[in-house]
């Protein structure tokens, strides 16, 4: 990590990691932050809904099992101890009263916890089915 004085005198400029993410902070802010990092703004296009639904993931010649913990028109979070990697594509079935077959792309991985996936190529029929299901769920 490299730290240099900000020329404006407002604080320090911190460079970290291979991608050199840059964060400018005042001296007071640097002392206050400690272990708690500020939350990133939510960039989701659709509201999330709490759910507890089993999901079957078609992967290679086998089937992996996960649990959807939240879902939206854009995707869902799958709880699994063995998540796939970012940009991995797969087909899945969300096991609702009427199973929902979806194609997914992994967008975020939380090691040992699960993965956030984006729905890929939702047909009008599937979107209508999903919208109907989401209306019955509480928002997160």
**Domain membership flag for residue 38:** no
**Predicted confidence (pLDDT) per residue in 52-107, tens digit:** 999 999 999 999 999 999 999 999 999 999 999 999 999 999 999 899 999 999 99
Q: Which domain holds residue 14?
A: 2-33
Q: Is 66 helix (H, G, I), strand (E, B) or coil?
A: strand
Residues 21 and 53 in one domain: no
**Predicted confidence (pLDDT) per residue in 23-62, tens digit:** 444 444 434 444 455 666 666 578 899 999 999 999 999 9
Q: What is the CATH number of the domain that holds 117?
A: 2.40.10.220
Q: Using CA atoms, how far apart are residues 33 and 69, in angstroms rounded to an integer?
A: 30
Residues 27 and 73 in one domain: no
Residues 60 and 22 in one domain: no
**Domain membership flag for residue 139:** no
Q: Using CA atoms, how far apart are residues 15 and 4, in angstroms rounded to an integer?
A: 9
Give the pTM: 0.68
């Amino acid at each position: 990590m490299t730290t240099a004085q900000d020329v404006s005198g407002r604080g320090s400029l911190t460079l970290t990691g291979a991608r050199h993410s840059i964060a400018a902070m005042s001296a007071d802010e640097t002392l206050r932050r400690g272990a708690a990092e500020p939350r990133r703004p939510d960039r989701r296009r659709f509201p999330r809904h709490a759910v507890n639904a089993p999901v079957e993931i078609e992967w290679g010649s086998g089937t992996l099992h996960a649990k959807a913990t939240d879902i939206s028109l854009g995707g869902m979070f799958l709880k699994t101890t063995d998540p796939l990697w970012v940009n991995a594509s797969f087909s899945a079935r969300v096991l609702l009263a009427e199973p929902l077959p979806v194609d997914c792309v992994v967008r975020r991985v939380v090691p040992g916890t699960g993965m956030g996936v984006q729905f890929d190529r939702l047909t009008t029929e599937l979107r209508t089915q999903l919208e109907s299901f989401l209306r019955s769920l509480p928002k997160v």
